[in-house]
Structure 1
Amino acid sequence: MNRYLAGALGGLLATVPMTIAMGRLHKRLPREEQYPLPPREITEDVVERMPVNKPRGDTSLTQLTLAAHFAYGAAAGTLWGALAPKNQRPVAGGMAFGLAVWAASYLGWIPAAKVLRPATQHPARRNLLMLAVHCIWGASTAGWTRLLTEPRTHGFARKANRG
């Protein structure tokens, strides 16, 4: 499979465990830190800036948040597919990439676009939550991408010679 497509599909699939972990870890935060997680905050900000009809109701915003979150996971996964070194340790490299995506987003373009305050202005526990789930996303993205581009390394392909 094409590495870009494999990365996109890997990033999309990796967003599932990331999202589940975000929800579970969010519930463990102190009550005062349980305000909406960044994907929801970003979606609300973008929707508020839209000059057209805005979605109404919590269900619509939740669905839009999830759609945007999964689309961003797929888009970032495409970048992994393009940049990932072959035959390297995918989990460690993927985790590092996940952390780089977090840094570029929450210390970079998101505050620069005035969507959210930089991560340095959020509670440490929330940042640890987001760092952890980006590690989960990155490792999973790398694993899926490798599986989709190098299936023989995982035993899903037929062996070339059966001796």
Structure 2
Amino acid sequence: MLRHLVNGAVGGALATAAMSTVMVAGQRAGLMRDQPPKRIVRAILPGHPRKPKPGEGVLGTAAHFAFGIGSGALFGVLTRGRGRVPLGVLYGLAIWYGSYAGWVPKLTTMPPAHRDRPGRQAVMAAGHVVYGLALANALTRLGRRAAEAA
């Protein structure tokens, strides 16, 4: 179980990096103004939830990776380290939906997905698909390495 947890956490870190690439590309393409993790941190930090705060970019990135690593660790344990691509994609989309139709709007930093700017939610949904794909592939590769080492 510990191996699945650790492999999932490593996979979650790699998957978050892949997802972040999609998010940065979406921002550069003009589909979203700034990164949602940064906006979420802005809402959580003391002060006005919509006014920029010092360090929010770094804290947003750290929080995003922490969430991605934790989610990857959970996936690794739940799937017993079996990185099945369809399950990874569904997992990524479930995280997107649960976040952007659930707890993120409650912070009042962003509207629910169905009322948000279509470009941002398209980027975020695509990013979460990439997260799920990368997570499943990482778990598959890490599982193969463990089996070869045994």
Q: Output the TM-score relative to the length of structure 2.
A: 0.83
Using the aligned pairs only, state the percent identity: 31
Q: How does 1:2-151 map to 2 (within 5 A)?
A: 2-29=3-30, 34-48=32-46, 57=54, 60-84=55-79, 90-151=84-145
Are the equivalent residues in 1 in contact too, given 2:8–2:74 (CA < 8 A)? yes
Give the secondary structure class of the aligned counterpart of 2:119.
helix
Provide the C-alpha distance between the structure 2 equivalents of 1:109 and 1:34, rounded to a whole number of angstroms: 20
Give the Cα–Cα distance (whole angstroms) in 1 for the partners of residues 5 and 81 of structure 2: 13
CA contact (8 A) 1:95 1:136 kept: yes
Number of aligned positions between the proteins: 146
For residue 140 of structure 1, report the CA deviation from its aligned partner.
Answer: 0.5
What SS is found at the alignment partner of 2:110?
coil
1:109 partner letter: W
Maintained 8 Å contact 2:92/2:128: yes
Question: Scaled by the length of structure 1, what TM-score is found?
Answer: 0.77
Query: Is the partner of 2:33 in helix, strand or coil?
Result: coil
RMSD: 2.5
| CA positional deviation for 1:151 | 2.4
Q: Is the radius of gyration larger for structure 1 or structure 2?
A: 1
